[in-house]
């Protein structure tokens, strides 16, 4: 008997599925729902918070499992299989991360950093590009410190190195960067797959969709890596053999790459 296939899509949200400015995806919503009704599992893997992802599910009448804050925690795997946990915390708490940050980063670097959480809400709104009602869930971070780095590229690399030596990471997304624990989207994804493979006997086929630096490791480790066009991200240096690229940005680019990937499966 031929083994059943279970397709799982791990996807970034902002700039990949969601329009980078409006955060909507209505243009491809029918197609998105069609995939779900066909039994394809879609797991958002985002730098967004748990509160934002719960909002995303609720506002779109969805019930998706998801990964938050650049791989810091995994939610709702029990929706995929009853034996799987509802919640897995991978990262240390924000306070622990903050303490490590405070004691390892020099004042020189600290002066080059804007802490998003310390700004007035109007300024946060401007930087994050979010409507007022979406600011609150966006700053409810449990495992990461959102920053803007106001230095050169060389300084940023130096900063990343110091963080790494202290057991932390810097994750670069569309609008801001996040100081995180030693986590990333790809490792959280691997954890999800390891758990799912224990419970499902189906052949698991993975598709990964992203548009930025913090998505590359994740998509690289999927069977069908997909990159949605992002004019602010230079993808020419990305070396992934079977990379599927879109000619259009999100959300149209998302459906384009998924269609191409599904044709190949
Ligand atoms: Mg993105």
**Measured distance CA(176)–CA(71) in Å, rounded:** 16
**HEC letters along 199-251:** HCCCEEEEEEEECCHHHHHHHHCCCEEEECCCCCCCCCCCCCCCCEECCCCCC
**Sign of the four-CA dihedral 45, 50, 52, 57:** positive
| Bridge partner list, 258 | none
> What digits encode the pLDDT tens for the residues 40-59?
999 999 999 999 999 999 99
* For the chain, domain boundaries: 5-89+184-264, 94-181
What's the gap in Å between 262 CA and the centre of ligand 1? 22
- Ligand 1: centre distance to CA 57 (Å): 18
Closest CA to 48 of 125, 137, 175: 137
Average pLDDT rounded to a whole number, residues 5-29: 96
pLDDT tens-digit profile of 160-191?
999 999 999 999 877 889 999 999 999 999 99
CA of 47 relative to ligand 1 center, distance in Å? 8
> How much is the pLDDT for 2?
63
CA of 174 to the centre of ligand 1 (A): 5
Report whether pLDDT(202) > 90.
Answer: yes
Is the pLDDT reported for residue 237 higher than 90? Answer: no
Please report, rounded to a whole number, the percentage of residues in the chain having pLDDT higher than 70.
Answer: 99
94-181 matches 5-89+184-264 in CATH topology: no
Give domain 5-89+184-264's CATH superfamily.
HAD superfamily/HAD-like (3.40.50.1000)
The overall average pLDDT reported for the chain is: 95
CATH (one of 3.30.980.20, 3.20.20.80, 3.40.50.620, 1.20.120.80) for 94-181: 3.30.980.20
User: What is the reported pTM?
Assistant: 0.94
């Amino acid at each position: 008997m031929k083994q059943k296939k279970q397709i799982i899509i791990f996807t970034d949200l902002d700039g990949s599925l969601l329009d980078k400015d409006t955060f909507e995806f209505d243009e491809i919503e029918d197609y998105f729902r069609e995939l779900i009704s066909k039994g394809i599992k879609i797991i958002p893997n985002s730098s967004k918070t748990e509160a934002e992802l719960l909002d995303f599910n609720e506002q779109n009448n969805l019930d998706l499992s998801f990964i938050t804050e650049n791989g810091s925690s995994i939610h709702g795997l029990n929706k995929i299989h009853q034996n799987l946990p509802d919640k897995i915390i991978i990262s240390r708490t924000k306070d622990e991360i903050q303490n490590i940050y405070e004691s390892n980063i020099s004042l020189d670097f600290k002066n080059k950093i804007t802490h998003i959480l310390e700004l007035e809400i109007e300024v946060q709104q401007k930087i994050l590009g979010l409507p007022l009602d979406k600011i609150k869930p966006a700053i409810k971070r449990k495992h990461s410190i959102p920053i803007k780095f106001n230095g050169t590229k060389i300084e940023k690399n130096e900063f990343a190195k110091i963080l790494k030596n202290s057991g932390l990471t810097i994750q670069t997304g569309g609008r801001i960067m996040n100081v995180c624990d030693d986590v990333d989207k790809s490792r959280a994804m691997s954890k999800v797959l390891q758990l799912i493979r224990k419970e499902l006997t189906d052949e698991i086929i993975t598709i990964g969709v992203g548009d930025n630096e913090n998505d590359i490791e994740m998509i690289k480790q999927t069977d069908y890596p997909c990159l949605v066009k992002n004019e602010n991200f230079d993808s020419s240096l990305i070396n992934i053999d079977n990379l599927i690229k879109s000619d259009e940005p999100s959300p149209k680019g998302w459906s384009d790459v998924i269609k191409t990937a599904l044709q190949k499966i």
